[in-house]
Structure 1
């Protein structure tokens, strides 16, 4: 799918384009899971070579950050899918081609939808709804002035990355809140003396595992963004950006560093909760094993008495004694009760 963003009459419009109708005056071309024909059409319209899906997955900085002619290619991993319970991340390529931005992605991060809505101030429109001001622009200088104020590719890319970082921060806040709730559930389970192996403990372990998985993905995403920003600053320097642009890039760098620290804190908290949960499960298991161990020790003396009187010896005086059977039963009961009383006295039970 090709989504193009054009500026006219002081507004930015989004429309779907076909390989035969890729406009050359678009300020942002968004390639979403494009076909080979769509990629070739954009390459022909923009005069550049779009990286393949395999090239986007390369981890070397030279494969993710490079320049070809007047175009700068930057690839970062973007986290998505937390709302669906299946967080993941995928590479997204940003191509600055003069005043135009081209994005190539095979997933649908919510940050792109949020920024596109903010950029257009309305939902994307169908092809042909953007007004044609070619004649009016020539006749009216005021309208030409408005049209010339179209957002540049640099500002669109900065706005996109800012939205990505804000979205990632929101997701980390959601994970932090879930970890707080997990901690409450763990200690509530210990107070209620819930047995090990219950659905509650299994759910807690699954939630902790999901949080840990998200932390690793968020850390990798932040690492790619941290590598991208210096290259973006060098690319912007060639275009002589304003002070506001440089300040925004520096602010994003500070946000990434603070988020990295926050992710490290959440990782430590996740490990603590995991250790606590495993410790609670171990305590429950030890309590169950202790009960069986005490029961085994309690039945050992009666078993010894029964074994003695179960021997097939010819001369055993108690066998002919009328009170031999009650005496043997009483001795077995007494030998079982005394260890239990002793264990209770030692507070082992």
Structure 2
């Protein structure tokens, strides 16, 4: 899918199909076809494949070919089936336009065109559109972190304040929920790291532009936001670890309570078992075997011994 945008009042307008792409300032390629990749070569842009973008080497993710900068960041988004993933997105920046290549659907690529004009960067050039899109992505990451914080508030309150009333199933569900937030946090952290690298690479060439002072100021502003989100992500990571520890601690306490009850119940039957074992022996000389009240006495001894163990357990608060 190819979406081309041109500057219009209020933001970026989608170029109608069939229009000349020469006027487009931003071309967004979503799961590009071979024909679309060949079309981009006519504009001097070599569209990287998904395998190329997935290379973890910095030299493969951040490089220049002539006057064209190729920058790749790993962003959270969704696949067509709705599955959340973190996949690479290529930002190809030329003097005339920005070309993005992606194989999943990060939300900022949908929300940015309508809000581009209201962003601090504006849409005066491809560089401004690039920085505005990065700023929109950073804002989306901030929203994701805020959502993680709300989930941790809920789970932390439930575990720490209502832990005694929670059943084991609820605690397991809470642990699964926290684990999912850990996955979300991991995707956000990777996105922040790669965006920071992209901005660092872009800054090295920003002084060559006509509006270099404004572009550097915008880049520094976005970079400060990224660094602030990294600090916030570290804070949420510590809270996440605390919630995991608290949940696992309560699960262990419940398991210990179960084992303690079973141990006390087993102890209740130890003296009766010993008595029954003694009188179950087949020796010739066992005077008690001929007592008229031997059987009731043995039963009474079993009950009394079990009762004594039960009272001891209650006194020691083992039950």
TM-score normalised to the size of structure 1? Answer: 0.84
Tell me the distance in 1 between the aligned counterparts of 2:278 and 2:123.
101
- 1:236 equivalent in alignment to 2:206: yes
Unaligned runs of 5+ in 2: none
Report the alpha carbon displacement of residue 23 of structure 1 after superposing the two structures with TM.
1.9
Which residue of the partner structure matches residue 164 of structure 1? 137
8 Å CA contact retained: 2:73, 2:191: yes
Which residue of the partner structure matches residue 183 of structure 1? 156
Say if 1:347 and 1:222 are closer, same or farther in 2 by CA, change over 3 A. same
8 Å CA contact retained: 1:75, 1:94: yes
Tell me the distance in 2 between the aligned counterparts of 1:10 and 1:322.
105
When structure 1 is superposed on structure 2, of 312-321 and 209-218 the one drifting more is: 312-321
Tell me the distance in 2 between the aligned counterparts of 1:239 and 1:282.
61
Which residue of the partner structure matches residue 6 of structure 2? 6
Report the alpha carbon displacement of residue 86 of structure 1 after superposing the two structures with TM.
4.5
Report the alpha carbon displacement of residue 22 of structure 1 after superposing the two structures with TM.
4.8
Match of 2:26 among 25, 28, 50: 28
8 Å CA contact retained: 2:53, 2:61: yes
8 Å CA contact retained: 1:22, 1:41: no
Match of 2:53 among 52, 56, 61: 56
RMSD, aligned α-carbons: 2.2
Tell me the distance in 1 between the aligned counterparts of 2:44 and 2:277.
95
Tell me the distance in 2 between the aligned counterparts of 1:12 and 1:291.
68
- 1:204-243 to 2 correspondence within 5 Å? 204-243=174-213
Q: How many aligned positions are there?
A: 315
Tell me the distance in 2 between the aligned counterparts of 1:80 and 1:254.
23
Report the alpha carbon displacement of residue 229 of structure 1 after superposing the two structures with TM.
0.6
- Offset from partner CA, 1:230-253 (integer Å, 9 cap, x none): 211223221132533221110111
Which residue of the partner structure matches residue 128 of structure 1? none
Secondary structure at the aligned position of 1:238 is classed as coil
Which residue of the partner structure matches residue 118 of structure 1? 115
4+ aligned runs moved over 3 Å, structure 1: 7-12, 84-87
Say if 1:328 and 1:62 are closer, same or farther in 2 by CA, change over 3 A. same
Say if 1:313 and 1:119 are closer, same or farther in 2 by CA, change over 3 A. same
Tell me the distance in 2 between the aligned counterparts of 1:169 and 1:10.
24
8 Å CA contact retained: 2:207, 2:213: no
Which residue of the partner structure matches residue 307 of structure 2? 337
Secondary structure at the aligned position of 2:28 is classed as strand
Say if 1:2 and 1:120 are closer, same or farther in 2 by CA, change over 3 A. farther
Say if 1:298 and 1:85 are closer, same or farther in 2 by CA, change over 3 A. farther
Tell me the distance in 1 between the aligned counterparts of 2:224 and 2:9.
36
- Offset from partner CA, 1:247-275 (integer Å, 9 cap, x none): 11101111111111111111111111111
Which residue of the partner structure matches residue 235 of structure 2? 265
Tell me the distance in 2 between the aligned counterparts of 1:255 and 1:267.
18
Report the alpha carbon displacement of residue 54 of structure 1 after superposing the two structures with TM.
1.1
Which residue of the partner structure matches residue 104 of structure 1? 101
Unaligned runs of 5+ in 1: 122-148
Say if 1:159 and 1:202 are closer, same or farther in 2 by CA, change over 3 A. same
8 Å CA contact retained: 2:77, 2:105: yes
